[in-house]
Amino acid sequence: MVATANQSKNQHEEWGFSTRAIHQAQTSLDQSRATTMPIYQTSTYTQVLDGTPVHYEYGRGDSPNREALEDTLTALENGQFAVVFGSGMAACDAILRHLNPGDHIIAGLDLYGGVYRLLEQVYRQHHIAVDYCTFDTDDWVTRIRPTTRLVWLETPTNPLLHVIDIERVTQKAHLHDLTVVVDNTFASPYLQNPLCLGADLVVHSMTKYIAGHSDVIGGVVIGGDARWRESLQFLRNATGPILGPFDAWLILRGVKTLALRMQQHTQNALHIVQFLKTHPRVSQLYYPEGQVAYSKQMRGGGGMISFVLKDADTTHVYEVLRKFRVFAVAESLGGVESLVSHPATMTHSAIPEEERNRRGIVPGLIRLSVGIEDVKDLIADLEHALD
């Protein structure tokens, strides 16, 4: 049987990041002595009927593959528990389901379009109010109401890569007994650990850097207070957005190389940032490194870059996108392959145009997910596309 998060959380605390990523979920399979986690591709489990408690009953409940992944992610984010879901949006939804009609959320102004859609088109219909603001100063505190329950932020943000001071926000929020949720997808556990900075919950789209190969979809909520674990597990079982055994196995395999991949993503991105800084067609460049909060909480800038084409509309951007040969024009991010996208018509198209422009998601904005290819080929591809 796979060790659960409660059994093994503190087992290897002295190990470094990559050692935990590789060995945290090792099993004690006496019969096979497998060094790699097997895939428990089953929908149900045999009942013994001898009066002893049964851990595995049905595949929608617990699964050895899910538990191994949860145990590993708990260790990497320095949490108390992790609950995995079938997608990042399912993970976000599981948190928001804890709200009641009349409750209020304060969310970051620069926010993934899918979360904006969930808040605006689903939860507003359930009478959940949302205010969007920046966290550059403490002015956001004036938005707090007696009904405020959550502060929801991304850092670095999507797509403008602002770095929000997690510790400062959580200190202010906790004075008002608010729960702070941090979407850590862009940084990954390798570059940033929000729970160590005071956040209550961390959410990841595991589809991105954690899995790292653009071949699986999944999400996770990781927390520092184990009281959330039971309710999140109940919601997952009751509503059904589970992660299948094979998907959990794929993600766990991806986690093992997370440190190596993030190092290369970051190294490549830094070279590309230097190239774009002086390019005559680039009017604005966004990257985490160098921002005020960066040195407080991040161990590297990661592989995401955004920039604005000078005097460009959507037509001009599409002309550029069609010329890429190495970068693939696609949504998503965090895979080993480089991707390029147009937020206004792709990842953030759910946000109305006027609101996009107010948030800085202008027609000329391009977002890069820098992969781990040879960086000279990526820069040559950018030169060709921007020529």
Contact criterion met (CB below 8 Å) for 284 and 311: no
Q: Which position among 9, 66, 149, 208 bears the catalytic label?
A: 208
Nearest alpha-carbon partner for 235 in 96, 330, 110: 96
First and final C-alpha spacing in the chain: 57
**Which residue is it, tokens 């945290």?**
24
The verdict on whether 209 is a catalytic residue reads no
Q: Looking at residue 143, what DSSP letter applies? A: G
**Where are any strands of DSSP class E within 206-293?**
219-223, 282-286
Helix, coil or strand: residue 310: coil
Residues 265, 260, 7: CA angle, nearest 5 degrees: 125
Rg (CA), the chain: 21
Q: Which position among 62, 165, 183, 381 bears the catalytic label?
A: 183
DSSP 164-225: P-HHHHHHHHHTTT-EEEEE-TTTHHHH--GGGGT-SEEEEETTTTTT-SSS---EEEEESS
The verdict on whether 149 is a catalytic residue reads no
Q: Which position among 56, 112, 116, 190 bears the catalytic label?
A: 112
Q: Which position among 45, 60, 97, 168 bears the catalytic label?
A: 60
Residue type at position 322: R
The verdict on whether 208 is a catalytic residue reads yes
Phi, psi of 144 (to 5 degrees): -65, 135
Q: What is the dihedral of CA 102, 107, 110, 111, to 10 degrees?
A: -70
The verdict on whether 168 is a catalytic residue reads no
Q: Report in angstroms the alpha-carbon separations of 282 from 63, 273, 308, 310, 333.
A: 49, 11, 6, 6, 21
Nearest alpha-carbon partner for 198 in 169, 227, 177, 240: 169
Active site residues: 60, 112, 183, 208
